[in-house]
Amino acid sequence: MKKKLITIMTVALMLMGCGYVEDKESSVQAGGNSTADSIRVGVLRTADSLPIYVGEKTGLFEKYGVNVELVEFSSASNQSKAIEGGAIDGMMTDMVVQNLLIKGGTDLRAVATALGENVAEGKFLIVSSPNSGIESIEDVEGKKIGISEGTMMEYLVDSYWSELGLDINKIEKVNIPSLSLRFETLNADEIDLAILPDPMGDLAIAGGCKEIVNDTTLKNNYSVTVIAFTKKFIDENESVVRKFMEGYNAAVDRINEHNDEDLELIHYVANVPEALQGTWQIPHYPKNSVPTQEEVENITKWMVEKNLLNKTVDYDQVVDTQFGSEEGRK
């Protein structure tokens, strides 16, 4: 019990925003305008956003002639409201959120893959609760799994089950949008399984949960996040976006070279608890890469099946390839 309490307290600390970047969410005003050669980028404090933080903190964006204002949000819903209201120019997000924004009238184009160019990038785990008795994927039929309905998390679970040849209708999905609550509910054995991002999944395992699915070992790639800007901003500020991407790619190189000077910032942004900092693997980040047509089609098809979209969306309505390309993928 003591170990479980400590683990839950660690998660609470992981999810608290404090430190390197001022949380400007409360001061963001709808309809504001960027100044010349400046760009306002909405971020969530996750590993996916790390190159943006590193680029801003180390002066790489400034080096390439662009002033980047990081606007940190505590939730994806608040971030979406900000871009809908014109308070930010772009954001790090996933393509489920992006397509919902497009459906709602915000013409948002992905200019780069943030994380998830291949299966090795952007780890998600499905873990079983400590006393569930679930030892492998063969034991999951009839069990309860914590997800966030209508989000990338549910898309991932459905995709994993499909690849593994399992019937998704033979498990019970329990909607728990809050990651911290999902973690706590799992550790309390109130659900049998949960999908958790890295490093929270590793923390759950350290606390007595068992790894059931690790998506970095699957055949196909599903967990893709993107950097996206409004089409209006791209059309009116193409050179600024290009400068941003130059600084971003320089930050990617810096992270991939494992610069020890950035470790404190990396652990902070990625929410890596102290207990895991010695073993946690920093992701490899892509550059000059955009989502593939297949990735876009798979996500939009799933969203139509879930009645989140009325119809599938053309690739060029989702992705702007002028700053990267499928050919840029390794």
Average pLDDT along the chain:
89
The pLDDT of residue 259 is: 74
Q: Is a pLDDT exceeding 80 seen at residue 20? A: no
Residue 114's nearest CA partner among 214, 14, 228 is 228
Is the pLDDT at 282 greater than 60? The verdict is yes
* pLDDT above 80 (res 19): no
Distance, first Cα to last Cα, the chain:
46
State which amino acid sits at residue 153: M
Q: What is the pLDDT of residue 327?
A: 52
The amino acid at residue 253 is: D
Grade residue 324 by pLDDT with cuts at 50, 70 and 90.
confident
Question: Backbone dihedral region of 309: left (phi > 0), alpha (psi from -120 to 50 degrees) or beta?
Answer: beta
With 0.95 as the threshold, say if the pTM is over it: no
Residue 190 has pLDDT above 70, yes or no: yes
Round to whole Å and give the CA distance between 109 and 129: 39
Q: Which domains does the chain have, with CATH numbers?
A: 2-118+224-328 (3.40.190.10), 124-217 (3.40.190.10)
What one-letter code names the amino acid at 251?
Answer: A
Nearest-CA neighbor of 225 among 133, 291, 159? 291
* pLDDT tens digits, one per residue of 68-111: 999 999 899 999 999 999 999 999 999 999 999 999 999 999 99
pLDDT in tens, 49-66: 999 999 999 999 999 999
Quick check: helix, strand or coil at residue 214?
strand
Q: How far apart are CA 150 and CA 192, in angstroms?
A: 20
The reported pLDDT for the residue numbered 38 is: 93
Pairing of β 108-115 and β 225-230:
antiparallel
Q: Check pLDDT > 80 for residue 328.
A: no
pLDDT, one tens digit per residue, over 102-159 is 999 999 999 999 999 998 888 999 999 999 999 999 999 999 999 999 999 999 999 9
Q: Percent of the chain, pLDDT > 90?
A: 82
Per-residue confidence (pLDDT) for residue 36, from 0 to 100: 55
Query: Residue 28: what pLDDT?
Result: 44
- Residue 9 structure tokens: 């307290």
pLDDT digits (tens, 9 = 90+) for 209-251: 999 999 999 999 999 999 999 999 999 999 999 999 999 999 9
